[in-house]
Structure 1
Amino acid sequence: MITQIYSIQTAEEAIACVEAGVDRIGVAIDTGIRLPAQVNEEKCREIFTAVGDKVVKVLIAVTKTGEDVYGPLSRLRPDVIHICGNEFFATPEFVARAKKICPGVEVLQAIPMTGPKAIDEAVHFAEFCDMIILDSVDPKIAGIGAAGVTHDWALDAAIVRKVKCRVILAGGLGPDNVAEAIRIVRPWGVDSFTKTSDRMPDGSTKKNPEKVHLFIKNAKEAAAELGL
C-alpha cells in the first residue's frame, strides 16, 4: 500500500512528509488555471530537489491541452505526471510523447467519481495509463480533486476489481477514515490533501505533520491486516 500526500508547497513540508514515511509527494504546478496550493515552476523544482530520490515525485497538472504539459515535464523531470483537468485528459498519444520527453515517467489519470459512468471511464484510461486515481469533484474547483469530500466507495471497489492497472483512492481521505476506505476498496494506494492540511486564516493550506503521520500509520496498518 503506497501513501501519497498532496499538495506540497514548500521544501520544508516535503521533508516533513518524507520523515513521516510517505511514499509519494505531489506538487500542483501553476499552469494559469487557478488551483488550491499551486506553486510556480521554480518552487516546484526546489521541492523536488529537496527530497531527491527519497520519495516518488508527482507533478500535478491541470491544463487545457497536452502541449501545456510537455514543457514543465521536460524541465522538472518528475517520476509521475498526474493529469486531472476538466478539459484535457490523457490519450495514448500523450502517454507515448510524455515518456519520450521524460524517459521513465509514469502517467496517472484522474477519474471523476460522479456516478456509475466512472467505471467505464476508469476501464478506458486503464488501458493505456500506468495508474488511475479515483477522486471526488467540487464544481467550484478547476479540475478533478481537492474537493475534501468522500464519494461512493462501492464504485471504487468495483473499479479495482475490474481494471488491471494500479488504482489510487482519493477524495476526502484522512487519518479518521483511511482504514475503512482501504478495507472497502482495497486500492493499490491512498491519497490525501485536504484532511492532512490545516486551513489558514487567509484561506490557504499548510501541511499538518501530525495528521500526515497518522494518515500513513493508519493506512499501513489497515493494509497490513488485509495483506495488501
Structure 2
Amino acid sequence: MRIKICGIKRVEDAIMAAYCGADAIGLVVGQKHNSDDFIDKDLAQKIVKECPPYISPVLVTELDDAEEISNLAHKIGVTSIQLHSDCTVDSIISLRKILPHIKIIKNFHVNGFEVIQAMKPFESVVDAFILDTLDLANDKVGGTGLVHDWNISRSIVKKISKPVLLAGGLTPENVGEAIRFVKPFGVDASSGLKDCDGFKDEIKLINFICSAKYEFFKVRDPSLKN
C-alpha cells in the first residue's frame, strides 16, 4: 500500500506527512483550473529540499506541454509527475524522452465505465494511474473532496495492468472501506485532511495513514480480520 498526501503547501506539512508514515507528497504547480492548493515553483522547490529521506515528492500539474512540464520538474527536483491534463499519448512519450528516469502517473476522472477504454491507450506509456472525481460546477479537476462510484474504480483495478491509485473524497473515516472494496495499489488524499486554516491537520493525517495501512494488511492477510 502506497499513501500519498496531496496539496502540500508548506515545509511543515511535508515533514509532518513523512513522520506520520506517508510514502509521497503532492506539490500542485502549473494551474489551469480552480484549486486552493496551487503553489509556485519556488515554494515547491523549497519543500522538496526540506523533505526527509525516503519520501517521494510528486509534481501534480495541469500543464500538458512536455517541455514545459520537464522544465518545471527539473527545477523543483521531483521524482514523479502526476498529470491532471488532457495530454495525449504522444506528449507523454515526448516527456519520457526528456525525463527517462521520472515516474509518470496519469489522472483519469471516474464518470462512467467508459473510462476504462479511455485509459487503455495510456497503459504502455505511464507507470501508474490515479482515479479522481471531476467537479465541473467549481471548475476543479482534483482536490474536489467528492467521492465517485467505487464500483467503477474496482472494475478498473481488475482490468488495467498498471498500478491504480484511488483518490476523490477520501478521509480517515472512509479510506478503510475504500481499500476493502476497490483494492487499489495506493490511496491519495488532500481536502479530507485539511484543518480550517487550509493546511494539513496532524490528527487527520495520523488517522488516515493508520487506517489505510491497517486495512491494507487486513486485505492482504485475512487472518488479521478477526
TM-score by structure 1 length?
A: 0.90
Contact 1:138 1:146 in 2 (8 A): no
Q: Residue by residue, what CA displacement relative to the aligned partner does 1:19-50 show, whole Å, maximum 9, x if unpaired?
A: 10100100001446543211111100011011
Do residues 189 (structure 1) and 182 (structure 2) align? no
Do residues 89 (structure 1) and 87 (structure 2) align? yes
Letter in 2 for 1:177: N
Do residues 55 (structure 1) and 55 (structure 2) align? yes
Contact 1:89 1:109 in 2 (8 A): no
Task: Decide which of 167, 170, 182 is 2:167's aligned counterpart.
Answer: 170
Unaligned runs of 5+ in 1: none
Equivalent position of 1:215 in the other structure: 208
Letter in 1 for 2:184: P
Contact 2:45 2:77 in 1 (8 A): no
SS of residue matched to 1:8? coil
Unaligned runs of 5+ in 2: 222-226
Equivalent position of 2:113 in the other structure: 116
Whole-Å Cα distance in 2 between the matches of residues 112 and 146 of structure 1?
12
SS of residue matched to 2:195? strand
Q: Residue by residue, what CA displacement relative to the aligned partner does 1:99-120 show, whole Å, maximum 9, x if unpaired?
A: 3433421111000111121121
Q: Following TM superposition, by how much is the alpha carbon of 1:143 offset from its aligned partner in structure 2, in angstroms? A: 5.2
Q: Following TM superposition, by how much is the alpha carbon of 1:63 offset from its aligned partner in structure 2, in angstroms? A: 1.8
Contact 2:66 2:94 in 1 (8 A): no
Q: Following TM superposition, by how much is the alpha carbon of 1:97 offset from its aligned partner in structure 2, in angstroms? A: 3.3
Whole-Å Cα distance in 2 between the matches of residues 196 and 147 of structure 1?
12
Equivalent position of 2:130 in the other structure: 133
Contact 2:33 2:140 in 1 (8 A): no
Equivalent position of 2:72 in the other structure: 72
Contact 2:28 2:39 in 1 (8 A): yes
Q: Aligned pairs, how many? A: 221
SS of residue matched to 2:208? helix
Whole-Å Cα distance in 2 between the matches of residues 124 and 76 of structure 1?
29
Letter in 1 for 2:134: V
Q: Following TM superposition, by how much is the alpha carbon of 1:89 offset from its aligned partner in structure 2, in angstroms? A: 1.9
Q: Cα RMSD (Å) of the superposition? A: 1.8
Equivalent position of 2:36 in the other structure: 36
Whole-Å Cα distance in 1 between the matches of residues 33 and 60 of structure 2?
12
Contact 2:34 2:139 in 1 (8 A): yes
Contact 2:33 2:141 in 1 (8 A): no
Equivalent position of 1:10 in the other structure: 10
Q: Following TM superposition, by how much is the alpha carbon of 1:123 offset from its aligned partner in structure 2, in angstroms? A: 2.4
SS of residue matched to 2:192? helix
Contact 2:165 2:185 in 1 (8 A): yes
Structure with the bigger percentage of strand: 1
TM-score by structure 2 length?
A: 0.91
Contact 1:148 1:172 in 2 (8 A): yes
Give the 3 Å change call, closer, same or farther, for CA 52–104 of structure 1 in structure 2: farther
Whole-Å Cα distance in 2 between the matches of residues 80 and 90 of structure 1?
18
SS of residue matched to 1:38? coil
Contact 2:113 2:152 in 1 (8 A): yes
